[in-house]
Every structure is written in C-alpha cells, then in structure tokens.
Amino acid sequence: MIRQKLRGGFVVYCPMGCKIRVSERHRGRTGKCPRCGSPFFVPLKPVRKTEAETAEAAAPPPEPGVFGKWRGWMENVHLHAVVPQKLKIKADSLLKDFQAVDLAFSEDGLLLVTLVTAAGLFGANEKKKPAVRAAVQQHLATVGKLDGLPAPAQRLYPVESLKQFSMAQPTPPDVDSLFAGVPVFGTNRIAVKLPKLGDETAVHYLSFSLSEFREFTARLAAAGGPDNLGADTDVPLVDNYQTFKCHYTDQVVQELIGLPYYQADKSFSLQLSGWRCGKCGLVVSEDARKKEKIGGLNGKGIAKAVCPKCKGKFGNHPLYSLAAPAANPTATPAMP
C-alpha cells in the first residue's frame, strides 16, 4: 500500500541537504524535514505559458521600492554625523545620536533623504513623515530630478564614490579604527563609513541591524560599491549553521553562526535547538533534554546538571537556530 502511494513521487532536498521523498500532491506546499526539522518547499511544476501570458509577464507591475530610476528604497536608516574631536569612545555612545533617513540607489549613486528634521513637539514631525515620504517618492517617480525634492535635506553619494564605502563597525582586522573596536553605534549593530561630500568636517556613517545591512550591501554592490562589504568581519552575511548530532537521538542540532547579530535584530525569530556541555562539548537537542529532564523539566538547572558523558557540570550553553517561518495553516500539510 505505502509503496504504491510513493510511486510517482520525487525527491527534494531540505536546506540542510537531507533527501526527502514527496509526492505530486505536495507541490507548492511547505513541509518540515522529518530528519532535521528544517522547513522546505516543494517546487511547483513548471507551467508552459501561452503567448498572451508571456506578453503579460513582459510588462510586470511596478516593482515595490522603485520610484523612477531610484530603486531599493529603505526607510528610516540611521545616519550618524560624527565630529571626531567630540566623539565619546564608549559603547552605544552614538546609538541614539542619529538622523533617520530614507535611501535609494540609481545609476547616479546613493541618495539619502531626510524627511523630517527633528521629532518636533510631541513627535509632531514624526507624524508628518509618511506624507513627506509619499511626496518625495512621487517627485522621484514623475519629475525625476533631485532639484526641488520636497524634503528638508538630501545627500547624493555619486556612483564613483560608492567604492569608498567601508566597514566601521565591526572593524575588519588590520584596519585602524577611530573607535578602537568599541561598539559606539550600539552593540551588535553594523556601521558603514561614508566618504566625505565636499569639505564637510563631520564624518558620516550609516548604521544597520543585520537584516538591513544585508539588504543595503546587496544594493550597494549592485550599484557599483564594494563586493562583499563586511565579509572580512564576523557579520554573518548569509545564514550559516554549525551542525551537531544529538547525543541521545542522533537528531541534527543546528547552531546559528553569528548569533549576537540575530539577537540584536527584532526581525529574526530564534528557537532553542539544543545545549552544549561546556566541559566536553557533548550536544543534546532541546527535545532530548526535555525528555531526559536534564536541568529539570524546563532546563533551568542545566548549568549545574551532570553531563551524561563527562559527568562534569553541563554549564549554560544554549544553541539557537532560526525559527521556521510562521506556518500558513491552509498551506502547511503534515509531511511527508
């Protein structure tokens, strides 16, 4: 019976590379890998398009974030104007010292737009922001020129200056840092130094959360800026895992590399995948820990719990992975 059901099925791979056999009826659906728990997608069948459909596809609807020749619109990125003589070399000293700007790229370079100058009384200017943003985007889409942009301030970094954008936090090894390695832009935020425009005295920086930084550097590279900005630091430019096998179940336990950057960015949701013994490196999945009641039912006592292998104290070394995207109840079958 079962064998017959599987006939006509095909093989897909989960993001961790496990082989999963699925059947035709699973196409277009999301499942959870039975081996490692990673979410995976079963691709739809390639559909042959009619000529009319192909013509329709050739004129796609306006891409989000595109206004005239400006693309990759990002809202409320932190712009810091730093006067080196006034700088306090202290963690987080510039965290709240920024102006929120919107930005976009074109073949002319990078445009930073200040939509409102200050918060205003009781945040009044902040409330005006969406209307000012809409007017600026409308202007770029229709008039096109930066002259007459209906915003209080703008900065254009010409395309030939994009190559000079460089990492400021974290600082790559063997690069002299003005900040002496202190996270002045906020712990586990990422900052990029911008070249000077004209003879201004302040040095300008943009600072980002991890997800913002990934989006920005991809756009920057595509616009002619440096490739792989940040690749020589510990910033995880893509999601990477170290994988372990659970001591009890042989289940794969994933540890996200570069965890502090994810923890500092609210757009990621993390899940506890397991625990590592601080003494011998033994790894136990969270499922197995619960089952074996290491550190009690909820794991609160794990630091003092006895390691099943080395008999030393387990210590408090949680491992985290990215949580599966929120399940869509209509599209998520129990699989396989």
Q: How many residues bind Zn ion (CB under 5 A)?
A: 14
Q: Quick one: which of 16, 237, 322, 335 contacts Zn ion (CB under 5 A)? A: 16
Name which of 178 and 310 has its Cβ closer to Zn ion: 310
Rule CB under 5 A: is residue 317 a binding residue for Zn ion?
no
Shortest distance, CB of residue 268 to Zn ion, whole angstroms? 20
Residue 300 CA: distances (Å) to CA of 70, 154, 305, 313: 51, 52, 9, 14
Task: Name the residue nearer to Zn ion (CB basis): 223 or 283.
Answer: 283
DSSP label of 157: E
- What residues from 22 to 81 belong to the interface with Zn ion (CB under 5 A)? 33, 35-36, 38
Q: How far is the CB of 40 from Zn ion (least distance, A)?
A: 7
In the complex, least distance from residue 15 CB atom to Zn ion, rounded to whole angstroms: 7
Contact positions with Zn ion (CB under 5 A) in 266-305: 277, 279-280, 282
Name the minimum Å distance from CB 3 to Zn ion.
23
* Beta strand spans in 162-240 (E): 166-169, 190-193, 203-208
Radius of gyration (Cα) for the chain, nearest Å?
25
Of the pair 94, 294, the CB lying nearest Zn ion is at 294
Candidates 310, 322, 324, 335; binder of Zn ion (CB under 5 A) is: 310
In 3D space, the residue among 119, 152, 120 whose CA is nearest the CA of residue 136 turns out to be 152
Categorise residue 184: left if φ over 0, alpha if ψ from -120 to 50, beta otherwise.
alpha
Q: Is 157 left (phi over 0), alpha (psi -120 to 50) or beta?
A: beta
What is the Cα–Cα distance from 25 to 331, expressed in whole angstroms?
12
Helix/strand/coil (H/E/C) assignment for every residue in 106-156: ECCEEEEEECCCCCCHHHHHHHHHHHHHHHHHHHHHHCCCCCCCCCCEEEE
**Of 39 and 226, which CB lies nearer to Zn ion in the complex structure?**
39
Question: Length of the chain in residues, anyone?
Answer: 336
User: Which stretch, 15-23, 42-50, 160-168, 194-202, contacts Zn ion (CB under 5 A)?
Assistant: 15-23
Residues that bind Zn ion (CB under 5 A): 14, 16, 18, 33, 35-36, 38, 277, 279-280, 282, 307, 309-310
